[in-house]
Amino acid sequence: MNAPLNGTKPARASNSGDAVLDRYEPVIGLEVHCQLKTQTKLFCGCSTAFGAMPNHNTCPVCLGHPGVLPALNSEAVNFAIRFALAVGADIQETSVFARKQYFYPDLPKGYQITQYDLPYCTGGKLTLASGKTVRLIRAHLEEDAGKNVHGDESSYVDLNRAGVPLIEIVSHADIRTPEDAADYLKRLRSLVRSLEICDGNLEEGSFRCDANVSIRPRGQEKFGTRCEIKNLNSFRNIERAIKYEILRQADLLDHGQPVVQQTMLFDAASGKTHPMRSKEESHDYRYFPEPDLLPLRIDEARIQRQRETLPELPEAMARRFEEKHGLSAYDAAVLTSDKDLAGFYEAVVKRVGSAATEKIVANWVTSEYLREVNNRNWDLTNPPITADHLGELIELIGKSVISGRIAKTLFEEMAEKGPGKGPKAMVEAQGLIQVSDTSEIRNVVTKVLDANPEQLADYLGGRDKLFGFFVGQTMKVSGGKMNPQMVNDVLKELLDARRKG
């Protein structure tokens, strides 16, 4: 089955998404720029800190003054090696930096130092949730450009970002659906974050993606003409942009018009892609080897040092969560999609301290907790509900101190109010302790039965379904505080007695 494209309007409303996918197959290749989180820039000692005063983090090297020399940041190379190892790529013993020439106000040197025909890393792959494997063409090291800032009347240039180290990761055009494209990016982001080489912040631009999209008639082997979409700053927008672009290209082909290879900008407000410029060819850049830098040599000993300090990678961690914590593949994938989320889960498990609760904790984290994370835009590195407090809450249910229902209400209150006293203190302060006293439960159940004579008569007459009604009434009368299992047992006993009597 093809993923539906409904909800995305084509340029001319002649195509429904599903019909387009019956006839055309999308082909997608992604280029990702990851900003390496080194302390200093790629070729000078300037700070890479985000948010500094404009042009504060600059020096003659990154400002492109004449006569200065670049000096390669060794930490950036180590980070780049870690990436290559994590995706099983080949690390080249010798690679070469090149000058890519173009004019733009945010590029003071008039060229960018990057790698061209001899990148440090080739091959590698990433496996998606759908089981699909996406092969990588290459990854290379390069410096970032500065930023043009457009005000109302004037434009400004901020060169703090000029010279910040990046790796550009280029995939083969192996992706076939917008959903897989988004999944690929999520996994890549999770990977570079767990490697601690990039903070993966899409809004701040430390993780940026360009999507190359083409379509071909189903059954045709040859790829169609592609367009490259830029300005994609959220996973949702990446999916929207690719969906729109597929419909736009199908509409052109259906009307006998060719797709023109060009660079498109995505406009999040309208959900449309617009042409930005005709596609530049690599010969336009007049690449040549950077004369101020030696070829980059990476020896086996250096690779080995990085290999030894690799953290547990998301895929391996997901396997461990399945085996050690007994989780489903789905829960394991969700929980390991982010290293902070995974750490949170394991901290809660440790706090509760019983193997029987690992799945229960997984349920709480993937449903209640993640819902609040998304709704309230929580920062996973510093969530307002701590692992300690969630652990305490789950423990209170396990010890039958509170019912699951009360626990959910408490959790919402904790989410609303943020860090404060823990659930135990809240339970005591609000008098929410679960009633597990049989005689008290019998009293309430008896009252409920007496207060609903019609339903009782129906039940005794054979409408077994009404059992749930009595459970609900009893819980309601007790404000959700009664032990549900005991309510069930007591109800059963009293109803059976009335049937017989």
- Choose from ligand ADP, Zn ion, none: what does 31 bind? Cβ within 5-8 Å by kind: ligand ADP
- Choose from Zn ion, ligand ADP, none: what does 92 bind? Cβ within 5-8 Å by kind: none
Residue of 46, 84, 198, 448 that binds Zn ion (CB under 5 A): 46
- Cβ-proximal residues to 468 (8 Å cutoff; 6+ apart), any chain: none
Residue of 20, 30, 36, 44 that binds Zn ion (CB under 5 A): 44
d(CA 484, CA 471): 8
- Choose from ligand ADP, Zn ion, none: what does 59 bind? Cβ within 5-8 Å by kind: Zn ion
- Cβ-proximal residues to 110 (8 Å cutoff; 6+ apart), any chain: 64, 101, 102, 103
Residue of 3, 11, 52, 59 that binds Zn ion (CB under 5 A): 59
Q: Which residues of 185-196 are buried (b: 16+ CB within 10 A; e: fewer)?
A: bbbbbbbbbbbe
User: Stretches 39-47, 218-226, 461-469, 471-479: which one binds Zn ion (CB under 5 A)?
Assistant: 39-47
- Choose from ligand ADP, Zn ion, none: what does 62 bind? Cβ within 5-8 Å by kind: Zn ion
d(CA 93, CA 270): 47
Given the structure tokens 């969630």, which residue do they identify?
390
Minimum CB separation from ligand ADP for residue 142, in Å? Answer: 13
272: β partners: 267
Nearest to 336 by CA among 228, 443, 189, 474: 189
- Of 41 and 138, the one with the shorter C-beta distance to ligand ADP is 138
User: Stretches 53-61, 90-98, 341-349, 472-480: which one binds Zn ion (CB under 5 A)?
Assistant: 53-61
* DSSP single-letter state for residue 200: -
Nearest to 227 by CA among 286, 276, 282: 276
- Of 46 and 134, the one with the shorter C-beta distance to Zn ion is 46
State which of positions 26-85 bind ligand ADP (CB under 6 A). Answer: 27-31
Q: Which two tokens stand for residue 274?
A: 């617009």
Q: Which two tokens stand for residue 139?
A: 């990854």
- Choose from ligand ADP, Zn ion, none: what does 39 bind? Cβ within 5-8 Å by kind: none
Closest-approach residue to ligand ADP (CB): 29
Number of residues near ligand ADP (by CB under 6 A): 16
- Choose from ligand ADP, Zn ion, none: what does 246 bind? Cβ within 5-8 Å by kind: none
CB-count burial class (<10 Å; 0-12, 13-18, 19+) for 69: exposed
Minimum CB separation from Zn ion for residue 39, in Å? Answer: 13
| CB contact at 8 A, 115 and 171 | no
Whole-angstrom distance between the N-terminal and C-terminal Cα of the chain? 59
Please report whether residue 76 would count as binding Zn ion according to CB under 5 A. no
- Choose from ligand ADP, Zn ion, none: what does 20 bind? Cβ within 5-8 Å by kind: none
- Of 29 and 108, the one with the shorter C-beta distance to Zn ion is 108
Please report whether residue 170 would count as binding ligand ADP according to CB under 6 A. yes
Please report whether residue 3 would count as binding ligand ADP according to CB under 6 A. no
Cα separation values, 285 from 100, 119, 159, 251, Å: 5, 17, 22, 33
Given the structure tokens 């809450």, which residue do they identify?
393
Q: Which two tokens stand for residue 496?
A: 């059976």
Please report whether residue 162 would count as binding Zn ion according to CB under 5 A. no
- Choose from Zn ion, ligand ADP, none: what does 141 bind? Cβ within 5-8 Å by kind: none
- Choose from Zn ion, ligand ADP, none: what does 118 bind? Cβ within 5-8 Å by kind: none
- Of 78 and 214, the one with the shorter C-beta distance to ligand ADP is 214
- Choose from Zn ion, ligand ADP, none: what does 44 bind? Cβ within 5-8 Å by kind: Zn ion
Given the structure tokens 């197959």, which residue do they identify?
25
d(CA 208, CA 142): 14
3-state SS, one letter per residue, for 111-127: EEEEECCCCCEECCEEE
3-state SS, one letter per residue, for 45-114: CCECCCCCCCCCCCCCCCCCCCCCCCCCCHHHHHHHHHHHHHCCCEECCEECEEEEECCCCCCCCCEEEE
271: β partners: none
d(CA 353, CA 118): 52
User: Stretches 54-62, 245-253, 411-419, 474-482: which one binds Zn ion (CB under 5 A)?
Assistant: 54-62
User: Stretches 23-31, 394-402, 429-437, 448-456: which one binds ligand ADP (CB under 6 A)?
Assistant: 23-31
Q: Which two tokens stand for residue 249?
A: 């290209």
- Of 160 and 237, the one with the shorter C-beta distance to Zn ion is 160
DSSP 294-305: PPEE--HHHHHH
d(CA 3, CA 8): 13
Minimum CB separation from ligand ADP for residue 262, in Å? Answer: 11
- Choose from ligand ADP, Zn ion, none: what does 171 bind? Cβ within 5-8 Å by kind: ligand ADP
Minimum CB separation from Zn ion for residue 115, in Å? Answer: 20
- Of 99 and 193, the one with the shorter C-beta distance to Zn ion is 99
State which of positions 193-252 bind ligand ADP (CB under 6 A). Answer: 212-214, 223-224, 226
- Choose from Zn ion, ligand ADP, none: what does 390 bind? Cβ within 5-8 Å by kind: none
Number of residues near Zn ion (by CB under 5 A): 5
Please report whether residue 287 would count as binding ligand ADP according to CB under 6 A. no
Residues in touch with Zn ion (CB under 5 A): 44, 46, 59, 61-62
Q: Which residues bind ligand ADP (CB under 6 A)?
A: 27-31, 170-173, 212-214, 223-224, 226, 282
